[in-house]
Structure 1
Amino acid sequence: MHAIERAEHIMTALQRDKVVVVTELSHEMQVTEETVRKDLEKLENQGKLHRVHGGAYLNDGFGNETPYAVRSRILRAEKDRIGRQCLKLVREQEPVFLDASTTAASLARALAESRKRLIVITNSLEVVKILEAAPQIRLVLLGGEFDRAYGAFEGSSVIMQLRQYYIQTAFLSGAGISLEAGMTDSAPGSAEIRRAVIERASRRVLMADMTKIGRNGPYVIGELGDVDCLVSDGSVEAKDQALYEKLLENEAEVMRA
């Protein structure tokens, strides 16, 4: 398969699935993974996609604006590292909140394997599915209108139910974090839920892979001062030194998974 044909194949797959994986493309096009990576690099330089470790996604949205099923295939290893790092921040018996992000699902898998006893409050159906077989964890699912694209329960009823609970530590994600805008999201419904969680939580942990550092979504979740801890998969200082210094100035902890 020639380079032009490979580019057409990749873009057709992206238009269909919104995400492509290097190993899958290598098998489909019968070329080496290195060839696929070079093809993806060329297409990224043309502004047609955004490369991530192990694949690429269509350059048409604000990260978590993309449906959950698509996002769950992107940056799996990085999200799992963040999840395992966040596990170290969880204390026995404490009530924690996990949002409906794919990174929160990675943390849920780490919690299930850890055998830690605690209470997990969530609006994520995927988190519940992961933790339902973990008897040491008490599960609280906040119900509302279910958004199938995002795998989350949203709406005013979720906000009202949140008022009934004390949250020791909230684990949140979003579309990005930047010096200019603070924590932001791609959709108004999820941003509203996360804002309400921030108000209820004693400690707020933002889980953000490196693609979200210095990036802005259209809906504000909170200010930088609302972040008690930022967990990422790379060096925040190297990616955005001004943001890193501001977080430290605010006495936030910055952790690398």
Structure 2
Amino acid sequence: MFVEERVEKIIKLLNENQKVVVKELSKKFNVTEDCIRKDLKALEKQGIIKRTYGGGVLSRKSAPHNDILIRKNINLEEKLKIAEKAFELIQPSETIFLDISSTNMLIAEKIAKGNKKLLVITNMIDIFRTFSKCDHVEVIGTGGVFDKELNGFVGSTAIENISRHKVNRAFIGSCGVNMFDKSITTFDVEDGNTKKAIICSGKKVYLVMESKKFYYDGTYKFADIYDIDAIIVDEKPDEKICRELEKINVDLI
């Protein structure tokens, strides 16, 4: 087997399993462990993997860090699909939480155009504005420290107010989900801590995100994948991720 062919197979294994082990690769390809280490070193130089003791893990991209209002119009088609799925889940007379998220802004717009009578709790200014002329939607704000970049409220006051509520469904935005270590991430620490409180408030907790975010990471972990009930996506991710979610009883919608 040529080196290039072996390296291609190693990359395929990385995409399937997120990690590789030197000893296992050595046996699989019938080459020395030093030979495999050279392959992994070359892949690390290309930025494809990060070498670890005894092997390597797939390098993950850092999620784009844009202002919330800019993000609303990025991947709009995908987010509209997610918003439609979320809206269909919501039942009349429920209490729901919509946190700071460009996708949640689109869910709010669908609710405003519909006729489901709901109580919506939110910490995002734009979601407040969406419901300003809706007779069928009652809105409660969390208050808290106003974050201009997020255009919403975060911090201890928001968290204290959120903790007083129990909602039927909480919809949470995220910068990325890592199925290797089961982490859910965002960029801002206070935003992450506020999301934690929202998760605790929900009888049913949903992540709303594009499928590609399974391959991205933020910089602050605010929850484990086990903390949520379901992930609402625009399209199914690869089979490996689907199987992992099934194992831990997290629904993919």
TM-score computed with the length of structure 2 as normaliser:
0.72
TM-score computed with the length of structure 1 as normaliser:
0.71
Question: Which residue matches 1:214?
Answer: 215
Separation of aligned partners in 2, 1:183 and 1:243: 14
Separation of aligned partners in 1, 2:197 and 2:240: 27
Separation of aligned partners in 1, 2:100 and 2:151: 7
Structure 2: segments with no counterpart, 5+ residues: 1-46, 48-60
Q: CA deviation at 1:178?
A: 1.6
Separation of aligned partners in 1, 2:245 and 2:236: 13
Q: CA deviation at 1:61?
A: 6.0
Question: Which residue matches 2:147?
Answer: 147
Name which of structure 1's ranges 89-98 and 180-189 shifts more when overlaid on structure 2.
Answer: 180-189
Separation of aligned partners in 1, 2:205 and 2:176: 15
Q: Deviations over 1:96-148 (max 9, x none)?
A: 10011100001001111121111100000011111121111110011111111
Counterpart mapping for 1:1-257 below 5 A:
62-63=63-64, 65-179=65-179, 180-236=181-237, 238=238, 241-255=239-253
Q: Deviations over 1:210-235 (max 9, x none)?
A: 23123222211211111211111122
- SS of 1:92's partner is coil
Separation of aligned partners in 2, 1:114 and 1:81: 16
Letter in 2 for 1:124: M
Name which of structure 1's ranges 101-110 and 126-135 shifts more when overlaid on structure 2.
Answer: 126-135
Letter in 2 for 1:77: E
Q: Which runs of 4+ in 1 moved over 3 A?
A: none
Higher gyration radius (CA) = 2
Is the contact between residue 181 and residue 220 of structure 1 (CA under 8 Å) also seen in structure 2? no
Give the % identical residues: 22
Separation of aligned partners in 1, 2:240 and 2:150: 32
Letter in 1 for 2:236: S
Q: How many residues align?
A: 193
Letter in 1 for 2:207: L
Is the contact between residue 214 and residue 243 of structure 1 (CA under 8 Å) also seen in structure 2? no
Q: Deviations over 1:29-81 (max 9, x none)?
A: xxxxxxxxxxxxxxxxxx9xxxxxxxxxxxx9633x31112212211121111
Separation of aligned partners in 2, 1:244 and 1:189: 30
Q: CA deviation at 1:242?
A: 3.1
Separation of aligned partners in 2, 1:251 and 1:211: 21
